[in-house]
């Protein structure tokens, strides 16, 4: 695509006006692309044909001068490559600019590059079509002829004449166009598969992170369980010790009661001796019971902590 700001013609004036191609030559560059000549040659052609109203292109005159088909203005994309009027800026009001729209991308004379179709807001169309160029016939080698026949499923015999070559070239252009569409479809499928693969990888990553966190929680829980087992074991040992202590106290209490009983039997007629013995035994028994109560209370206090 011709770049209107190319230094070779950026300062050239449009027609007889003071407007330069660099600043206002977007439509001229689009017409040059269709005409097949650079903006300087196209500008001279349009100037000599009287196709300018100052620096505004007169489309009916320009199309005839350049040998282009022109169907007027349009608001919808016509289904073929043509010239589109766009809004160059998001500023308030229309900032007129022209590009070539092929339905998939645009050719922008401001940069001289192919750009996404949504680069600008499309306002309308100037329904030009490219100049049809004659197909130049070159000698066909035997191998090339065989390759063409294989691709098109044709048999041209020994005489591959000019008309057959023209027809074959048109068919090959259509074949290539079909391949391009197939490539675009494959690219779309590849993009879809790649995005699906990326999503799958992301899901696997999240799952692995979740599993790692679950393992960490499991390790922490196992540690708590092990600590509880140790505490329970300690409580069991303490309970066993306290139980043995209580048994020892019970034995002592039983022995003390036996002594009291024997002393009472020795002197059943002596009330004074019995009165002396009973308080002492009662006190020892009370102390033993208090000790048992203290041990049990201490055991449950430890168990609660």
> From residue 151, how far is each of 46, 166, 170, 177, 181 by CA, in Å?
43, 15, 13, 14, 17
How far apart (Å, rounded) are the C-alpha atoms in residues 9 and 22? Answer: 7
> From residue 303, how far is each of 33, 108, 223, 243, 294 by CA, in Å?
94, 85, 20, 14, 14
Q: Helix, strand, or coil here: 2?
A: coil
Whether the model clears a pTM of 0.85, i.e. scores above it, the answer is no
Sign of the CA dihedral with 180 first, then 184, 189, and 194 last: positive
How far apart (Å, rounded) are the C-alpha atoms in residues 250 and 184? Answer: 97
Strand order, beta sheet including 82-87: 69-74, 121-129, 82-87, 96-101, 105-108, 113-116
Helix axes 26-35, 59-66, angle to 10 degrees: 30
The C-alpha R_g of the chain, in whole angstroms, comes to 53
Residue 275's pLDDT is 55
Residue 242's pLDDT is 74
Q: Helix, strand, or coil here: 159?
A: coil
The pLDDT profile of the chain, 305 residues, written as one tens digit per residue, is 899 999 999 999 999 999 999 999 999 999 999 998 999 999 999 999 999 999 999 999 999 999 999 999 999 999 899 999 999 987 777 889 999 999 999 999 999 999 999 999 999 999 998 765 444 445 566 777 788 878 888 876 766 666 777 777 778 888 787 888 888 888 888 888 888 888 888 888 888 888 888 888 888 888 888 887 887 777 777 777 777 877 787 787 777 777 776 766 665 545 555 555 556 656 766 676 677 767 777 766 766 65
Sign of the CA dihedral with 67 first, then 72, 73, and 78 last: negative
Residue 159's pLDDT is 63
The torsion defined by the Cα of 61, 66, 68 and 74, in degrees rounded to 10, comes to: -50
């Amino acid at each position: 695509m011709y770049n209107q700001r190319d230094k070779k013609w950026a300062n050239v004036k449009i027609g007889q006006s003071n407007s330069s191609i660099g600043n206002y030559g977007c439509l001229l560059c689009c017409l040059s692309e269709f005409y097949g000549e650079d903006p300087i040659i196209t500008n001279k052609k349009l100037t000599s044909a009287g196709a300018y109203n100052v620096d505004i292109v007169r489309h009916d005159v320009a199309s005839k001068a350049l040998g282009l088909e022109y169907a007027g203005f349009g608001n919808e994309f016509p289904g073929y490559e043509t010239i589109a009027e766009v809004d160059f800026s998001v500023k308030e009001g229309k900032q007129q600019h022209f590009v070539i729209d092929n339905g998939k991308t645009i050719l922008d004379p401001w940069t001289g590059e192919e750009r996404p179709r949504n680069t600008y807001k499309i306002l309308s169309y100037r329904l030009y079509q490219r100049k049809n160029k004659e197909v130049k016939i070159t000698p066909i080698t035997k191998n090339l002829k065989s390759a063409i026949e294989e691709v098109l499923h044709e048999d041209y015999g020994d005489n591959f004449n000019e008309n057959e070559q023209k027809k074959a070239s048109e068919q090959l252009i259509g074949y290539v166009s079909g391949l391009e569409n197939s490539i675009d479809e494959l690219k779309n499928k590849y993009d879809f598969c790649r995005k699906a693969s990326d999503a799958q990888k992301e899901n696997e990553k999240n799952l692995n992170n979740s599993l790692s966190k679950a393992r960490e929680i499991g390790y922490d829980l196992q540690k708590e369980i092990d600590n509880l087992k140790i505490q329970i074991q300690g409580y069991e040992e303490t309970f066993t010790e306290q139980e043995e202590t209580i048994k020892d106290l019970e034995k002592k209490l039983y022995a003390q009661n036996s002594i009291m009983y024997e002393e009472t039997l020795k002197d059943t007629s002596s009330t004074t001796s019995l009165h002396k013995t009973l308080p002492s035994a009662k006190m020892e028994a009370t102390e033993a019971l208090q000790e048992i109560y203290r041990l049990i209370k201490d055991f449950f206090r430890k168990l609660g902590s």
